[in-house]
């Protein structure tokens, strides 16, 4: 959040400002024209802009207006000469963040930039928080996690949810591919229509064509009456094709045609049925590698791969494990009408140290056992298969436990640092230092009644 774009047609001015800001630890981008600067600007770009007013071609005021059209909350500071003061004041009324009259002191520059950067940081944090609150207040599956890959996943899904683009989900077995597909459907404009899931690997090859496309009565031996296929049944909504890599090659040709034409023709029929549908396909393998080996159609791969999202394996985001486990325990306890048992320090360490080859599905099963059979009985089997247990240093175990405890208390108090200080008997400075050490931000805990399924 220390990114500054400097725009000035005088290269010497750009370099001088960049050097000053670079010394102070800012990441600086230089542009010698407004059009060059616009190449860097996009909605929610995590930086601030300093631009001269008087430049050939597009001047600083026009640049500011174009930037604000892209993102109305992006701070733009204007560099002005003495004769431009009235223009700069008028520009501030139109949305400029501030102006610096030449010549200005280094202290004035740094103070202005620091305020602008802080304003931008808060703006983007509030945006992310609003999106998260909106997503979590919606019925249906939720995706939450502090890991960068999960934030990227949520961001991509939220960006494309209301577009007609097909989506390809890649992830290991048990990582929650169907839940991600359901999240996309339930948060989109298609939420009131059908979500239809079919596992391409679980249906016999002789039946899958009829399952997908449907058939007319008498289309083949045994087809005594008309059957509506999954494509037609999902019309207006979402069709989820799990294990797409298992689809027979001969059927892939027909699948490609349906995806391109958005029409389906039932077996034994002559009329094509128009489709308004989003197709979400999921795979645990590399479809491009399969295509290179001739085991999956390359044209179908590219047609499905309009938007691709990757779900990281649970072992790649261990910090999210305790939060997910807590959610699954809470859900199971409510379902079975039992009390929730607290985790022991040893059990917490086991959660963090385990490799989770079964991913989220394995974690959910452990939570079920934890509620039904009791803590120790549930964790005994997990410890028995944990090859990493014992290879974690004492310092690492202490650090993991300390971070886990901080996360739990921050979650329970929804980011209220005063309450966290009182519970943990920590001074304010010490708490801040530990939060900085573990990359914890109180804003991320303000709405964590919203633990997720993925």
Domain boundaries in the chain?
3-128, 148-312, 315-445
pLDDT band at 138 (very low <50, low <70, confident <90, very high): low
Q: What pLDDT sits at residue 288?
A: 93
Confidence category of residue 446, pLDDT binned at 50, 70, 90: low
pLDDT of residue 336: 79
Highest mean pLDDT among 48-57, 142-151, 220-229, 420-429: 48-57
Q: In this predicted structure, what is the pLDDT of residue 388?
A: 45
Is pLDDT of 451 > 80? no
Query: What is the pLDDT at residue 401?
Result: 67
How confident is the model over 318-348, as pLDDT tens digits?
Answer: 888 888 888 888 888 888 788 877 778 788 8
pLDDT band at residue 408, thresholds of 50, 70 and 90? confident
Confidence of residue 246 (pLDDT cuts 50, 70, 90): very high
145 pLDDT above the threshold of 80: no
What is the tens place of the pLDDT at every residue in 282-324?
Answer: 999 999 999 999 999 999 999 999 899 999 999 998 888 888 8
Is residue 8 predicted with pLDDT exceeding 70? Answer: yes
Rounded mean pLDDT, 66-85: 87
Partners of residue 198 on adjacent β-strands = 241
Fold of 148-312: Rossmann fold (3.40.50)
**278-283 and 167-170 beta bridge pairing:** parallel
160-169 tens-digit pLDDT: 999 989 999 9
Identify which has the larger pLDDT, 387 or 134: 134
What pLDDT score does 150 carry?
87
Residue 199 pLDDT greater than 50, yes or no: yes
Residue 432, both tokens: 């801040």
Tens digit of pLDDT for each residue in 94-135?
A: 889 998 888 889 999 999 999 999 999 888 877 776 666 565
The pLDDT assigned to 385 comes to: 45
Q: What is the model's pLDDT at position 195?
A: 95
Instruction: Decide if pLDDT at 450 tops 60.
Output: no
Q: Kindly tell me if the per-residue pLDDT of 32 is higher than 90.
A: yes
Q: What is the percent of the chain where pLDDT is above 90? A: 41
Please report the pLDDT score of residue 35 as a whole number: 93
pLDDT of amino acid 149: 86
Which residues neighbour 121 within 8 Å (Cβ) at sequence distance 6 or greater? 1
Reply yes or no on whether the pLDDT at 151 is more than 90: no
List the beta bridge partners of residue 228: 214
pLDDT of residue 452: 40
Average pLDDT of span 130-141: 60
Q: Quick one: three-class SS letters along the chain?
A: CCEEEEECCCHHHHHHHHHHHHHCCCEEEEECCHHHHHCCCCCCCCEEEEEECCCCCCCHHHHHHHHHHHCCCCCEEEEECHHHHHHHHHHHHCCCCEEEECCCCHHHHHHHHHHHHHHHHHHHHHHHHHHHHHHHCCCCCCCCCCCHHHHHHHHHHHHHCCCCCCEEEECCCCCCHHHHHHHHHHCCCCCCCCEEEEECCCCCHHHHHHHHHEECCCCCCCCCCCEECHHHHCCCCEEEEECHHHCCHHHHHHHHHHHHHCEECCECCCCCEECCCEEEEEECCCHHHHHHCCCCCHHHHHHHCCEEEECCCHHHHHHHHHHHHHHHHHHHHHHHCCCCCCCCHHHHHHHHHCCCCCHHHHHHHHHHHHHHHCHHHHHHHHHHCCCCCCCCCHHHHHHHHHHHHHHHHHHHCCCCHHHHHHHHCCCHHHHHHHHHHCCCCHHHHCCCCCCCCC
Asked if 120 contacts 110 with a C-beta cutoff of 8 angstroms, the reply is no
- The 8 Å CB, 24+ separation contacts for 40-45 are 40/5, 41/5, 41/66, 41/67, 41/70, 41/71, 41/74, 42/70, 42/71, 43/70, 43/71, 44/71, 44/124, 44/127, 45/3, 45/71, 45/74
Could you tell me the two tokens for 171? 């992830």
Residue 233's pLDDT band, with cuts at 50, 70 and 90, is very high
Q: Which superfamily does CATH assign the domain made up of 3-128 to?
A: Response regulator (3.40.50.2300)
- Report the pLDDT value the prediction gives residue 131, as an integer from 0 to 100: 65
pLDDT at 226: 82
What is the C-alpha separation between 421 and 379, in angstroms, rounded?
31
């Amino acid at each position: 959040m220390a990114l500054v774009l400097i725009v000035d047609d005088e290269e010497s001015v750009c370099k001088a400002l960049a050097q000053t800001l670079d010394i102070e630890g800012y990441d600086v981008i230089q542009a010698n024209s407004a059009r060059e600067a616009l190449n860097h600007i996009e909605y929610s770009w995590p930086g601030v802009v300093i631009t001269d007013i008087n430049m050939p071609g597009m001047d600083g005021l026009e640049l500011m207006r174009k930037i604000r059209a892209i993102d109305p909350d992006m701070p733009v500071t204007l560099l002005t000469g003495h004769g431009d003061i009235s223009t700069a004041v008028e520009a501030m009324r139109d949305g400029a963040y501030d102006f610096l009259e030449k010549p200005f002191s280094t202290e004035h520059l740094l103070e202005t930039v620091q305020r602008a950067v802080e304003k931008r940081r808060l703006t983007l944090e509030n945006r992310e928080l609003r999106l998260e609150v909106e997503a979590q207040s919606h019925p249906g599956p939720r995706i939450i996690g502090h890991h960068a890959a999960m934030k990227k996943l949520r961001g991509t899904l939220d960006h494309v949810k209301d577009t007609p683009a097909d989506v390809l989900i890649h992830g290991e077995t048990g990582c929650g591919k169907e839940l991600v597909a359901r999240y996309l459907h339930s948060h989109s404009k298609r939420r009131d229509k059908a979500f239809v899931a079919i596992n391409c690997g679980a249906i016999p090859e002789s039946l899958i064509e009829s399952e997908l496309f449907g058939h007319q009565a008498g289309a083949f031996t045994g087809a005594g009456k008309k059957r509506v296929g999954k494509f037609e049944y999902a019309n207006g909504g979402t069709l989820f094709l799990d294990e797409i890599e298992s689809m027979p090659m001969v059927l892939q040709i027909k699948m490609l045609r349906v995806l391109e034409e958005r029409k389906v023709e039932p077996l034994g029929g002559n009329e094509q049925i128009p489709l308004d549908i989003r197709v979400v396909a999921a795979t645990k393998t590399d479809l491009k590698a399969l295509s290179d080996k001739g085991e999956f159609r390359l044209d179908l791969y590219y047609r499905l791969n309009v938007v691709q999202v990757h779900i990281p394996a649970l072992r790649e985001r261990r910090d999210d494990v305790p939060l997910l486990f807590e959610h699954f325990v809470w859900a199971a306890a409510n379902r079975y009408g039992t009390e929730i048992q607290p985790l022991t320090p040893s059990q917490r360490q086991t959660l963090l140290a385990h490799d989770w080859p079964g991913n989220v599905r394995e974690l959910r099963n452990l939570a079920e056992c934890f509620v039904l059979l009791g803590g120790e009985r549930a964790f005994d089997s997990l410890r028995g298969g944990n090859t990493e247990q014992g290879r974690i240093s004492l310092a690492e175990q202490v650090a993991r436990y300390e971070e886990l405890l901080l996360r739990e208390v921050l979650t329970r108090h929804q980011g209220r640092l005063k309450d966290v200080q009182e519970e943990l008997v920590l001074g304010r400075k010490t708490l801040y230092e530990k939060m900085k050490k573990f990359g914890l931000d109180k804003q991320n805990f303000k709405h964590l009644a919203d633990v997720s399924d993925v």
